[in-house]
Chain A
């Protein structure tokens, strides 16, 4: 006979919990593995980052070009100050800035969702496909619009977006941005320890990658200063390319880790990219 008294007694003893550090280390290692495994993911991350750079350029460009378009070109800080202190220009600038900010946020969220949905596929043992990721993001169009509208006025929210909301959106089609945020927070609470430890781990890895890139850049520059101009230019372009690849790689790696943690929180099991479905059966 089952009674409420015997419920706990009969329940299986919980498995001895593994330390969070060991779990984070394994997840970081697997994230690195995923980052280098599929070239489609690196291409997606590169497009994502390039578009973000373009959007920042557009944002700053509109600020600098607007006076010239209005027939009052400004060169100094004082001239810009005087121009933007006029009420009519202030309002127009704010409207233009918010519009660019909204479209920039929307596009970066859209591409991030494309990337994250494919990262989750790779975690699940499948191959990444740009078209499929794009279609997944398109099916979340309105969720992305409402979420982008909410975070447009607050710049720092893109961090929240990247870290916790977009991975959740890959499988959740809610249009209410507050519900999205709430569900993301609930999931984050399940893995907060691993999440924080992982952020530290990611920062350490990103730091070492950049040390390597900047170190090699310094060596390249030292060599190029004693070379003919043509070779110096080639070396310089190699340095820039290396830095860009490192930047894209770090961006991809961080997203792989965040998606891995999302899978763990939502599915209740740590994902393993090496797990073979056929063998498990």
Chain B
């Protein structure tokens, strides 16, 4: 994986460390990054994207806690070697991911003047529409 695949939006209002977590977890969970694949080192991300090493380290720590990546001493960071990272997530971890996704959605929506209630109504409506389509 190249650092250039990590596109950060500095004007979105979403903290950069959270954007890195979302981008990488999205790629891992969708299968775009396969188990055992090397992810860019903190040094590379820092130099290429001009972000603070602490920010990248915090994002990687969160991903490691979620069981999505693992650090091999002296070799760097790799996508966790499970059959499928999605199945290894506990309910608590899934809740944490949902929490992160929801709060970043609310923050991003807030930038456009969309209230939390509107986001919630939209999600409910979307969910009903999907359920109707599935029937």
User: Which A residues lie at the B interface, using CB under 8 A?
Assistant: 1-2, 6-12, 120-121, 123-126, 171-172, 174, 183, 186-187, 263, 266-272, 275-278, 280-281
Contact = CB atoms under 8 A, between A and B. Distances in A.
Interface of B: 10-11, 13, 15-18, 41-43, 46-47, 50-58, 71, 76-77, 91-92, 94-96, 98-99, 102, 111
Nearest to B59: A269
Given A186-B111, A266-B15, A281-B77, A272 B54 contact: yes
A275 B52 contact: yes
B42 A280 contact: yes
Nearest to A263: B52
B10 A6 contact: no
B42 A281 contact: yes
A2 B94 contact: yes
Contacts of B77: 281
Among A8, A11, A183, A267, the most chain B Cβ lie within 10 Å of the Cβ of A267
A119 to B, nearest CB: 12
B15 to A, nearest CB: 3
A272 B51 CA distance: 11
B15 A268 contact: yes
Given A10-B95, A172-B10, A280-B42, A267 B51 contact: yes
Nearest to A179: B11
A278 B43 contact: yes
Contacts of B95: 2, 6-7, 9-11
A271 B96 contact: no
A88 to B, nearest CB: 46
Contacts of B58: 268-269
B17 A277 contact: no
B55 A281 contact: no
15 contacts: A8-B99, A9-B95, A10-B91, A125-B46, A125-B53, A171-B10, A183-B11, A186-B111, A267-B52, A267-B55, A268-B15, A271-B54, A272-B54, A275-B54, A280-B42
Among A9, A186, A275, the most chain B Cβ lie within 10 Å of the Cβ of A275
Contacts of B102: 7
Given A124-B52, A267-B15, A280 B94 contact: no
B96 A124 contact: no
- Smallest CB-CB A-B distances: 7 pairs: A268-B15, A10-B95, A277-B43, A267-B16, A171-B10, A277-B53, A280-B57
Contacts of A271: 52, 54-55
Contacts of A12: 96
Contacts of A10: 91-92, 95-96, 99
A198 B96 CA distance: 33
Nearest to A1: B91
B15 A124 contact: no
Contacts of B10: 171-172, 266
A205 B55 CA distance: 28
B57 A275 contact: yes
A225 B135 CA distance: 97
A186 B16 CA distance: 15
Nearest to B65: A12
B121 to A, nearest CB: 14
Contacts of A2: 91, 94-95, 98
Contacts of B46: 124-125, 277
Given A267-B52, A280-B56, A281-B71, 6 more contacts: A2-B91, A2-B95, A124-B50, A186-B111, A269-B54, A271-B52
